[in-house]
Amino acid sequence: MKIAIIGVGSVGSAVATAVKNTGLAHEIVLFDRDGVRARAAAEDLGHASAFSYDVKITAVNTYRAIRGCEIVIIAAGANQKPGETRTDLLQKNVAVISDIVPRVMANVDSKKVKIIVVTNPLDVMVMLAQKLSKLPAGRVIGTGTMLDSARLKIILSRQLGVSTRSINSYVLGEHGDSSVVNWESVSIGGIALDDFCKQAKIALPATTRKTIEHRVRNAAYEIIQGRGATWDGIGAAVADLLHAIVNDEKRILSVSTVDGNGKDAVAMSLPRIVGENGVITTLHTKLSKEESVALRKSAKIIRKNFDLI
Ligand code: NAD
């Protein structure tokens, strides 16, 4: 499969490495408005491929070169500086997505292509990319809260002393400050969280849960403070999403796609079944009253930001 990555900064480079390491692509094309940067990334990554899979990696300076790509990953645009929120990037990245998507669509097969959006503020960028591309909603997929859900799993794994692979837990809503931890649906080895805690004699009171929520929401801020940007986690999330699509895994992932039409349309993360056609089905999990209110509020925030553009 031929895959394009648009934007090869910190995130795009990590995504390219992770995509290369899946072995799912026979060709990866890198495009960045900074051609020197793209060429350097392709060169470096090309050397790395000599130690893993045979994959052709090229930097391209025209969108014509993405012809034949069935998956286009957009990782271009401004990132958060220390103290900035994802929403602060809105206007800058509206310009970036508006520049990229029409050029992508002019060069791909609209019947087949799937666009993976990574650029923040993620959910609004998914809405914009879907609108500009006119693709079916299920084929414009934002990584959404995949990363937030992974962060939650890691914290729970340490707290509960079980492998992340035995934990089923999702963060829903905005990939941003209004994200919602869906405690009501958390299960450990198929056992509801409260029941698991009783059996394992572990206390997880409301105060601890609030602290966990805070840590999940603030993880990116802390990483940005410490290393200037985040890239490894999102690289792995994109690779995981790619596996689900290319291998038609029909896995349930908390990704963001547009639901609804017209003024009611909004993109946010919900558990969705993902396969070769992108998002196939959206699922509705059990929510507490508080979670349900928070999720509606999150949707409103995303829609309000979209209406600002
Ligand atoms: P960066 O500044 O390191 O790189 C951005 C790259 O985009 C640059 O190389 C720049 O030249 C390129 N670019 C800008 N406008 C372009 C255009 N119109 N066409 C082509 N290329 C263009 O930033 P980064 O750290 O790589 O972050 C990229 C984006 O990813 C940001 O919006 C950031 O917030 C987001 N991000 C998302 C997640 C997530 O979970 N979804 C996680 C981390 C970062």
CB-based contacts of 224, cutoff 8 Å, min separation 6 = 80, 81, 82, 230
Residue 83 has pLDDT above 90, yes or no: no
Q: How far is the CA of 1 from the centre of ligand 1 (A)?
A: 24
Residue 69 has pLDDT above 90, yes or no: yes
Residue 178 lies in a domain: no
78-92, 163-177, 229-243: which range is least confident on average?
Answer: 78-92
Euclidean distance between CA atoms 235 and 109, whole angstroms? 25
Its pTM stands at: 0.97
Residue 260 lies in a domain: no
Euclidean distance between CA atoms 84 and 43, whole angstroms? 32
Euclidean distance between CA atoms 255 and 30, whole angstroms? 24
Across 138-156, average pLDDT: 98
Q: What is the pLDDT of residues 215-260, one digit of tens each?
A: 999 999 999 999 988 999 999 999 999 999 999 999 999 999 999 9
Give strand pairing partners of 274: 251, 279
Cβ atoms of 133 and 106 within 8 Å: the answer is: no
Strand 2-6 versus strand 71-74 pairing type: parallel
The overall average pLDDT reported for the chain is 96
Q: What is the pLDDT of residues 259-296, one digit of tens each?
A: 999 999 999 999 999 999 999 999 999 999 999 999 99
Euclidean distance between CA atoms 209 and 224, whole angstroms? 24
pLDDT of residue 53: 84
CB count, 10 Å around CB of 78?
Answer: 17
Q: Identify the three-state secondary structure at position 167.
A: strand
Mutation to probe ligand 1, out of 118, 123, 140, 147 (largest number of atoms < 8 A from CB): 118
* Location of structure tokens 């999330």: 237
DSSP 8-state code for residue 119: P
Give the number of C-alpha atoms closer than 13 A to the C-alpha of residue 293, restricted to the C-beta side: 3
* Residue whose C-alpha is closest to residue 234's, from 75, 123, 70, 53: 75
Which atom belonging to ligand 1 lies closest to the Cα atom of 93?
32
CB count, 10 Å around CB of 191?
Answer: 15
Give strand pairing partners of 181: 171
**What DSSP line would sit under 197-226, residue for residue?**
HHHHT----HHHHHHHHHHHHHHHHHHHHH
Residue 291 lies in a domain: no
For the chain, what is the domain count? 1
Active site (annotated) includes residue 175:
yes
What is the extent of the structural domain holding 50?
Answer: 2-142
Catalytic residue among 26, 47, 175, 214: 175
φ and ψ at residue 253, rounded to 5 degrees = -130, 150
User: Which amino acid, residue 229?
Assistant: A
Residue 308 lies in a domain: no
Residue 42 lies in a domain: yes
Mutation to probe ligand 1, out of 8, 32, 148 (largest number of atoms < 8 A from CB): 32
φ and ψ at residue 256, rounded to 5 degrees = -110, 125
Which atom belonging to ligand 1 lies closest to the Cα atom of 148?
40
Residue 52 has pLDDT above 90, yes or no: no
CB count, 10 Å around CB of 213?
Answer: 18
Euclidean distance between CA atoms 17 and 190, whole angstroms? 34
Residue 110 lies in a domain: yes
* Location of structure tokens 């799937």: 114
Distance of CA 143 to the CA centre of its chain: 1
The CATH number linked to 117 is 3.40.50.720
Helix extents (H) in 161-205:
193-200
pLDDT of residue 150: 97
Residues with CB under 6 A from ligand 1: 6-12, 32-34, 37, 75-80, 89, 93, 96, 99-100, 118-120, 122, 143, 147, 175, 229-230, 234
pLDDT of residue 180: 98
Residue 183 lies in a domain: no
Residue 272 lies in a domain: no
